[in-house]
């Protein structure tokens, strides 16, 4: 299946019998269409969790104005974790030149992401930016995320060591009304942007939390949203589940989950999509892993993981669904030279070929090897990798995830398992209202330590 976006989907190698899959999709037509209607209705009503569906229509004038402000700095420190960081990494890697920090200057700041609260990373970031003009961007919908807020406080204190108030150099992206960050923005009178209340963190890549730094660093976020809107239109207009790629892929994921394939591998053949696979892993894992259901997301990168994982994929247990993403026309290309040396003559078959051509053949070879081994393969073919196709791909996977969760009978927009860990952390860090959680966490942890071996 393909469209004007230059994104094509191929579902021919289903594994486990194409006929049984076709029957499953056909039998699932009613619940698939119900899921599509449920998403549209929830979005129209502004229900919690459904806000991502309307993000392609948002007014981004304030985002673009803020991005222009950020361009005046030498460096940006972005503090966030989970959906408040992976969306940024995914967009930056897909939209910007590789190693863009090394090419910064001329109105393009360097970018540093403080996500994991590792003191070595935080200290290393500060060593690279101190003494320069630094903007601090804090992203948390609630302003209560411990990993984010602890690092925000530390970087803000380092920025204040020069004696001046740092808050004129601070941007917070948070809930429009409530939470610690919103209260801070009012008190400090710093710049702020809003995450719509109905948009969850892992679905927020196309919200201001993902767009503003992508735009400040040179990404075309208008085209990004245009691609997402075009994909939404294509999906919403097609009520035939056999030709609607999002409904089809949701059904395929559900089919293989029921068929005892509890892992979903996403393997792009492009370095610019490496973090897209990581973004997918959070989106998928937090959305569908509930009530003993779901499949485990596995991120891989072609061709690197042909040399580390494909042995397992083709000859190990048949417990995975594979999705490969190929890019046909690459922005840069490298033509291989002719071979002159006799010692290198065995390599002469490479002469005249291009690296991108070889990478494409490697993607095809992996797909073929998986099919030969009887493994289920989905193939996504991108004519090019630009802002529009990235936006389309982001929206597509958000939609597929939501539909799959609905098919499973779970809520794809909450994350109760994550919240438990947060409560334990709050308690052990001394937050008074979570003292009982701290005691429970310590008691559970003691169970791990009952048997130990030291070296």
* Residue 85 tokens, joined: 């960081």
Percent of the chain predicted with pLDDT > 70:
97
Question: How many CB atoms are located within 10 Å of the residue 234 CB?
Answer: 20
Q: Is the pLDDT of residue 178 over 50?
A: yes
Mean pLDDT across the stretch 319-341? 93
- What is the per-residue pLDDT for 267? 98
Q: Which residues pair with 436 in a beta bridge?
A: none
Burial class (CB in 10 A: 0-12, 13-18, 19+), 99: exposed
Determine the Cα–Cα distance for residues 171 and 136; give it in Å rounded to an integer. 6
User: In sequence order, which residues have a C-beta less than 8 Å from that of residue 446 and are 6 or more positions away?
Assistant: none
Confidence of residue 422 (pLDDT cuts 50, 70, 90): confident
Determine the Cα–Cα distance for residues 198 and 48; give it in Å rounded to an integer. 4
Confidence of residue 2 (pLDDT cuts 50, 70, 90): very low
Q: Is the pLDDT of residue 106 over 70?
A: no
Edge-to-edge strand ranges of the sheet holding 263-268: 7-13, 377-384, 320-329, 263-268, 296-299
DSSP state of 382: E
Pair 333, 355: CB distance under 8 Å = yes
Active-site residues: which are they?
286, 307, 422
- Strand-pair category, 320-329 with 263-268: parallel
What are the boundaries of each domain within the chain? 7-42+223-336+348-408, 54-222
- What is the per-residue pLDDT for 12? 75
Full-model pTM: 0.94
Determine the Cα–Cα distance for residues 350 and 148; give it in Å rounded to an integer. 49
Mean pLDDT across the stretch 5-19? 76
- What is the per-residue pLDDT for 15? 61
How distant, in Å, are the alpha carbons of 64, 97, 255, 330 from that of 386?
A: 19, 11, 32, 10
Burial class (CB in 10 A: 0-12, 13-18, 19+), 305: middle
Mean pLDDT across the stretch 226-251? 96
Same fold, 7-42+223-336+348-408 and 54-222: yes
Which segments of 248-354 are extended strands (E)? 263-268, 296-299, 320-329
Ramachandran class of 106: left when φ > 0, alpha when ψ lies in -120 to 50, beta otherwise: left
3-state SS class at 265? strand
Mean pLDDT across the stretch 287-302? 96
How long a stretch of residues is the chain?
455
User: In sequence order, which residues have a C-beta less than 8 Å from that of residue 106 and are 6 or more positions away?
Assistant: none
What CATH number should be reported for the domain whose range is 54-222? 3.40.50.10490
- Element spanning 409, H or E: none
Place of tokens 């361009």: 71
Place of tokens 């392609």: 56
Confidence of residue 159 (pLDDT cuts 50, 70, 90): very high
Confidence of residue 206 (pLDDT cuts 50, 70, 90): very high
- What is the per-residue pLDDT for 16? 57
- What is the per-residue pLDDT for 104? 58
Determine the Cα–Cα distance for residues 359 and 379; give it in Å rounded to an integer. 15
Specify the fold of 7-42+223-336+348-408: Rossmann fold (3.40.50)
> In whole numbers, what is the pLDDT of the chain averaged over residues?
93
* Residue 334 tokens, joined: 């490298």
Q: What share of the chain is helix, strand, coil (3-state, %, to 5)?
A: 55, 15, 30
- What is the per-residue pLDDT for 355? 93
Q: Among candidates 336, 430, 322, 423, which has minimal Cα distance to 379?
A: 322
Tens of pLDDT along 343-399?
Answer: 999 999 999 999 999 999 999 999 999 999 999 999 999 999 999 999 999 999 999
């Amino acid at each position: 299946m393909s469209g004007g976006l230059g994104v094509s989907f191929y579902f021919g190698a289903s594994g486990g019998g194409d006929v049984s899959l076709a029957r499953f999709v056909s039998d699932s037509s009613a619940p698939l269409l119900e899921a599509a209607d449920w998403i549209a209705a929830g979005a129209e009503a502004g229900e919690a969790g459904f806000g991502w569906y309307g993000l392609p229509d948002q007014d981004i004038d304030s985002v673009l104005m803020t991005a222009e402000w950020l361009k005046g700095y030498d460096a940006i420190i972005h503090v966030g974790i989970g959906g408040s960081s992976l969306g940024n990494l995914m967009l930056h890697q897909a939209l910007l030149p590789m190693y863009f920090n090394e090419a910064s200057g001329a109105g393009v700041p360097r970018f540093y992401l403080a996500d994991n609260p590792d003191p070595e990373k935080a200290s290393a970031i500060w060593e690279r930016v101190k003494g320069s003009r630094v903007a601090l961007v804090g992203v948390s919908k609630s302003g209560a995320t411990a990993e984010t807020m602890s690092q925000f406080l530390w970087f803000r204190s380092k920025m204040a060591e020069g004696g001046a108030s740092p808050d004129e150099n601070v941007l917070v992206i948070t809930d429009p009304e409530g939470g610690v960050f919103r209260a801070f923005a009012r008190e400090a009178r710093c710049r702020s942007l809003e995450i719509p209340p109905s948009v969850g963190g892992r679905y927020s890549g196309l919200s201001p939390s993902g767009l503003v730094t992508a735009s400040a660093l040179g990404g075309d976020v208008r085209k990004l949203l245009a691609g997402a809107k075009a994909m939404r239109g294509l999906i919403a207009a097609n009520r035939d589940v056999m030709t609607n790629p999002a409904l089809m892929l949701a059904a395929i994921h559900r089919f293989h989950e029921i068929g005892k394939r509890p892992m979903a591998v996403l393997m792009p053949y492009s370095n610019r999509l490496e973090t897209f696979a990581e973004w997918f892993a959070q989106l998928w894992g937090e959305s569908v892993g509930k009530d003993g259901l779901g499949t485990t997301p596995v991120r891989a990168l072609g061709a690197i993981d042909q040399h580390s994982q494909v042995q397992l994929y083709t000859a190990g247990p048949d417990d995975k669904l594979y999705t490969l993403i190929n890019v046909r026309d690459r922005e840069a290309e490298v033509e291989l030279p002719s071979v002159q040396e006799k010692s290198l003559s065995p390599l002469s078959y490479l002469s005249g070929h291009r690296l991108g051509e070889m990478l494409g053949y490697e993607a095809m070879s992996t797909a073929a090897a998986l099919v030969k081994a009887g493994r289920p393969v989905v193939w996504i073919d991108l004519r090019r990798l630009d802002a529009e196709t990235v936006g389309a791909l982001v929206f597509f996977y958000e939609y597929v995830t939501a539909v799959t969760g609905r098919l499973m009978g779970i809520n794809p927009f909450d994350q109760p398992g994550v919240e438990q860990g947060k409560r334990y952390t709050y308690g052990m860090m001394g937050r008074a209202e979570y003292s009982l959680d701290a005691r429970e966490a310590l008691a559970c942890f003691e169970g791990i330590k009952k048997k130990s071996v030291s070296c």
